[in-house]
């Protein structure tokens, strides 16, 4: 058996699988309940660790593409309190390596309990098939400070 590594997108040793978008604008949503995943509400309210969302992105060199990578922090009633996004466009005939991109929440109010991560993408040639941007290795990290600093609710 011979493995076909595909055409038009550079391989990366850390990428075994990826999601490729198509010609129609489409999205992938990831919802994370931080408390259900084991983060104590007290830690979220008073220590407020950094929350980092990272992934690798790329595209096929022969097809123009666009991608929006975004994340939102929500309170207990699922009201959005903080949001960030990265917009990336690749022109046709652009050779690029897999790139690490990250969003990070450092300063957020107490009461944050939920995180939503969204990737929205499409190819700009409107080719039938999955020629759009590619995403891989999505990771959410909650990073505690080396020396915890307790913050009051109004800080």
CATH code of the domain in which 99 resides: 2.60.120.260
Residue whose C-alpha is closest to residue 138's, from 84, 90, 100: 100
Q: Is residue 9 part of a domain?
A: no
Q: Is residue 153 part of a domain?
A: no
Q: What is the DSSP letter of 41?
A: H
Q: Is residue 118 part of a domain?
A: yes
Q: Is residue 97 part of a domain?
A: yes
Report for 75-79, 120-124, 127-131: range of highest mean pLDDT: 120-124
Q: Is residue 10 part of a domain?
A: no
pLDDT for 31 beyond 80:
yes
Q: Is residue 24 part of a domain?
A: yes
SS3 146: coil
pLDDT band at 11 (very low <50, low <70, confident <90, very high): low
pLDDT band at 75 (very low <50, low <70, confident <90, very high): very high
Q: Residue 24: which domain range?
A: 19-143
Residues 6+ apart with CB under 8 A from 112: 34, 44, 73, 74, 75, 81, 82
Q: Is residue 57 part of a domain?
A: yes
pTM score, two decimals?
0.84
Q: Is residue 149 part of a domain?
A: no
Structural domain count of the chain: 1
pLDDT for 65 beyond 70:
yes
């Amino acid at each position: 058996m011979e493995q076909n590594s595909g055409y038009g997108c550079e391989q990366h040793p850390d990428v075994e699988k990826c999601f490729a978008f198509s010609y129609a604008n489409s999205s992938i949503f990831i919802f994370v309940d931080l408390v259900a995943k084991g983060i104590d509400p007290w830690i979220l309210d008073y220590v407020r660790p950094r929350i980092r969302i990272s992934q690798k992105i790329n595209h096929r060199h022969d097809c123009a593409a666009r991608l929006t990578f975004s994340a939102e922090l929500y309170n207990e009633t699922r009201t959005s309190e903080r949001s960030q996004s990265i917009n990336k466009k690749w022109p046709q005939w652009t050779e690029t390596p897999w790139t690490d991109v990250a969003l990070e929440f450092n300063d957020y109010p107490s009461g944050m309990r939920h995180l939503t991560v969204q990737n929205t993408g499409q190819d700009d040639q409107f080719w039938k098939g999955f020629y759009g941007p590619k995403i891989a290795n999505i990771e959410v990290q909650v990073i505690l400070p080396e020396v915890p600093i307790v913050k009051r609710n109004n800080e």
